[in-house]
A and B are shown apart, each in its own frame.
Chain A
Amino acid sequence: DVVMTQSPLSLPVTLGQPASISCNSSQSLLYSDGNTYLNWFQQRPGQSPRRLIYKVSNRDSGVPDRFSGSGSGTDFTLKISRVEAEDVGVYFCMQATHWPPFTFGQGTKLEI
């Protein structure tokens, strides 16, 4: 199974400042069709997860443009350009290239 490793696991941030979360996979997530199936999810307190980013860098509808995803191969990053209060929660990366199983990172708790 592909192991997804996130860092940091806890991320204290200041409102208006940038934040960055790293996600590394135990093997390349580049699929034979040329796509890289790496997604990012946000889980606000008391809510279910919500997909933010798919295929490394594509924002879902309604996701603010302060969120961006980048990376390739085994190294990926989620960046928030200016953190807002509503961004508090846990962020997970997930790979859908080598499945089953789909595998998630441990989660990064972003707190103000």
Chain B
Amino acid sequence: QVQLVESGGGLVKPGGSLRLSCVGSGFTFRDSYMNWIRQAPGKGLEWLSYISSGSGSFTYYAESVKGRFTVSRDNAKNSLYLQMNSLTAEDTAVYYCARDGSLTSWGQGTLVTVSS
């Protein structure tokens, strides 16, 4: 069955960087466009970024992360990435990857905590 597994979360200081990964299985990863969504503690869901299928030529970002976060993919490794720079306390959240435009399947999430 479809499985998405995120990793790379942890504690980082304000202004620091982190790279999240998401490995997909049970579906044709290269044919799927992918998204990152986050959920701050006790809060709702916020879509962050999208990357198109195949070579990932098209990417989109939420205004809150544009210029700081970069999404990429490596189809050979069935992997999706989110490079996060200039982190602030407001970026503290559980980060999920999700498959396609209807967010058909989600990973279990990885917690990012930004604190000094």
Contact = CB atoms under 8 A, between A and B. Distances in A.
Interface of A: 37, 39, 41, 48-51, 54-55, 60, 92, 94, 96, 99-107
Interface of B: 35, 44-47, 50, 60-63, 96, 101-109
Contacts of A92: 44-45
B45 A49 contact: yes
A39 B102 contact: yes
Contacts of B44: 92, 104-107
A104 B47 contact: yes
State the main secondary structure of chain A at its contact with B.
Answer: loop
Contacts of B50: 99-100, 102
Given A48-B96, A49-B96, A96-B101, A102 B106 contact: no
8 contacts: A37-B101, A39-B103, A50-B106, A55-B102, A101-B63, A102-B35, A104-B44, A104-B45
Q: Which 5 A-B pairs have the closest CB atoms?
A: A100-B60, A102-B47, A104-B45, A48-B106, A107-B44
Contact of A51 (B47, B96, B104, B109): B104
Contacts of B61: 100
B96 A96 contact: no
A48 B106 CA distance: 7
Contacts of B45: 41, 49, 92, 94, 104, 107
